[in-house]
Amino acid sequence: MEGHITGEMFNIVVEPVNAGEDRDVSMVASGEYCAQISHDSGSTWGVVPISVNRSIDHGLFDPADTSRVFLGEGWRLKTPGQYTQREAVHLNVNGSRELLVSSDGGKTFTAAMYERTNGFKQVYGLEAIPTPSSEADVAPSSVLVGAHSGVYLGSWTTGDRSSRSIH
């Protein structure tokens, strides 16, 4: 891997591939001031424009449909490089509780709300619940969002951008 990412990166997720499959894979590195994406196995990286000035803590490729990519916003340091408990506050603590969602493998992203009420918007984790294999051609995976305000389940497909609280 030749590429290099600058800045503080919290998490990296790699597009799932089948064993023995020989192709470039996409990967997303999430960081304190943006997310960066590579479509050539990490040789080159580019900033996800909608993520600029957002602290992106989590990413997920849908294992049933890797063209679906999810990014979750977290916290960042008020003063970069100075981590103390007092300083560890997100510049935008309150606001829309949303995910950044792509349906084209990370080429473009849009915001999709996981909770209709504004408030603390920390996402602590993203997990996919794969569709049973007998139904794989019918529906994408559902996504669990572990957030400051609870646990949410949704699919965030083009036609359905809703979720429901399951906590």
**β strands within 67-137, DSSP E:** 69-73, 94-102, 110-120, 123-129
Q: Is residue 107 part of a domain?
A: yes
For the beta carbon of residue 119, count every other beta carbon within 10 angstroms.
14
Q: What is the pLDDT of residue 86?
A: 43
Q: What is the pLDDT of residue 20?
A: 77
> For the chain, what's the residue count?
167
Enumerate residues 6+ apart whose C-beta is below 8 A from 144: 125, 126, 127, 128, 129, 151, 152, 153, 166
Q: What is the pLDDT of residue 92?
A: 53
Range of the domain at 48: 9-17+25-122
The total domain count for the chain is 1
**What are the 10-residue block averages of pLDDT along the chain, 167 residues in total?**
63 83 86 87 91 87 89 71 48 73 93 82 85 59 85 70 57
Q: Is residue 148 part of a domain?
A: no
Inter-residue contact 112 to 156 (CB < 8 Å):
yes
Q: Is residue 135 part of a domain?
A: no
Q: What is the pLDDT of residue 101?
A: 92
pTM higher than 0.95: no
Q: Is residue 58 part of a domain?
A: yes
